[in-house]
Amino acid sequence: MALFRHVSFICLSLFCTTSLVSSHSRHYTTPSVPRLTDLFSHVSVNQSFSNSFGGRNIKLLNNGSMVTLSLDKTSGSGLASKDKYNYGFFSAAIKLPAGLTSGVVVAFYLSNADMYPHSHDEIDIELLGNDKRIDWVLQTNVYANGVSTGREEKFYFWFNPTLQYHYYSILWNSHHIVFLVDNIPVREFPNNGKFSAAYPSKPMSLYVTIWDASEWATHGGKYPVNYKYAPFVTSVADMEMAGCTMKPKQPGSSCSNANLSSIDPVGGLDFAKLSNKQVTAMDWARSKLMFYSYCKDTSRYKVLPPECK
């Protein structure tokens, strides 16, 4: 066990510079980008999160700095942040389960469905076990005010996400939502007035979960989770949550900036738009790796959402 922890630490320290091999046997040289994950401090899992479900499948490691979440035939598992945020930067280093993972979903997302069950907001990073091959898929999505229109975009990885830890991050403020993988932006959802009703604006909690999504993620259950290979274990480390926390029992109140980076507030001008390097990197990711966008799905949407025009 001590050796395992030592190897894990080495991998966690080196993963961003050593893993350029695609799980599709293709080789990529990734663009150079600013490392937003270096700007914020790590939070303690046991101090910053509560068990959301499946407590017996949640294991804290390294004095609460790391956690494993598992899915077995009895239950999945998940964590929810103790604080709610009006905006912020949220990140985790995650290593996904290896092997045949059809129907397994690991989610890193923001939501306020507990407070607003009929008009909730949601910002999703969903990591989907592939239904035909031993590969994972990255799906991003945005919901607001209970709007049921899905705004999914799906990407292949440029690495094997089961071998080492990789950063999955969400930047959310009044200017835009940005989804990042290893600090490379893969999607930007700007708040430019075209779809204000679809822009998340209410305080949200951060969730990390693993669950059985056979019916949802595999064409109506065509490729369900095969529990012969259970338990499916995902490892999570380097958790970061920095931004505007909602004061307890005061929804809509001014927020506490106690967790903001000393370098720059997440809601400040330095986080209002992507840099030239980030735009170039996002163009690279979208041209090379995106294989589905709701804005091109004319069979699903007879009238495309306004931001697609």
Query: For residues 179 and 25, is the Cβ–Cβ distance under 8 A?
Result: no
User: In this structure, which amino acid lies at residue 48?
Assistant: S
Radius of gyration (C-alpha) of the chain in whole angstroms:
19
Catalytic residue, chosen from 122, 153, 188, 240, is 122
Active-site annotation holds for 126? yes
Query: Of 165, 164, 168, which Cα lies nearest the Cα of 178?
Result: 168
CA distance 284 to 37: 20
Q: What are the DSSP calls for 253-277, one per residue? A: S-EE-TTS-SS--TTSGGGSS--HH
CA distance 189 to 151: 10
SS3 label, residue 7: helix
Please count the helices (runs of H) and the strands (runs of E) in the chain.
4, 16
Catalytic residue, chosen from 126, 153, 188, 240, is 126
Catalytic (active-site) positions: 122, 126
